[in-house]
Amino acid sequence: MKPDNELIIAARYVLKHAYVKYSKFPVGAALRMKDSNIITGVNVENASYGLSNCAERTALFTAITEGYTKDDILEVVVTTPKDYIVSPCGACRQVMGELIHPDVPVHMVDANGNVKTLLNRELLPAGFSEDDL
């Protein structure tokens, strides 16, 4: 499955808003919602590194704040200005596992337009879930 080009453009556009004072590693994310809206997010760092937030989680938390649910998310794009594919970190995979349906495609796009697509469930096999509580 090819990613929605509009999502790639949106994720790349917001890269400039990333607050990456420490890592200098901007990440942009974009979610395609069922109502055709696009929700974006960037990573926001903090001197206390554990308080930083990744682009994927920023986008997801924004979607939840705006009243969307996991049923509304159709597709995800994650991009960086690097010339290699970067995948979501473990914390993002865990949050994505709960807030995005398992069969939603997650497209990882590099600066050259190369794409690797996995279904959300493939990002965190045997992940911790509400069923484990």
Q: Is residue 8 within 8 Å of residue 117, measured between CB atoms?
A: no
Q: How far apart are CA 104 and CA 73, in angstroms?
A: 8
Give pLDDT, residue 1: 79
Q: Is 56 annotated in the active site?
A: yes
Q: Where are any strands of DSSP class E within 34-71?
A: 38-42
Average pLDDT, the chain: 96
Q: Could you report the per-residue pLDDT of 53-84, keeping only the tens digit for each?
A: 999 999 999 999 999 999 999 999 999 999 99
Catalytic position from the list 6, 45, 56, 122: 56
Q: Could you report the per-residue pLDDT of 97-123, keeping only the tens digit for each?
A: 999 999 999 999 999 999 999 999 999
Q: How far apart are CA 55 and CA 37, in angstroms?
A: 17
Say if residue 3's pLDDT is above 90: no
5-124 to CATH, choices 3.40.140.10, 3.40.50.1100, 3.40.50.300, 3.30.428.10: 3.40.140.10
Cβ-proximal residues to 18 (8 Å cutoff; 6+ apart), any chain: 26, 27, 28, 42, 43, 44, 55
Cβ-proximal residues to 9 (8 Å cutoff; 6+ apart), any chain: none
Say if residue 2's pLDDT is above 90: no
| Confidence bin at 45 (pLDDT 50/70/90) | very high
What is the H or E stretch that residue 14 is in? helix 5-14
Q: How far apart are CA 50 and CA 98, in angstroms?
A: 21
Q: What's this model's pTM, rounded to 2 decimal places?
A: 0.95
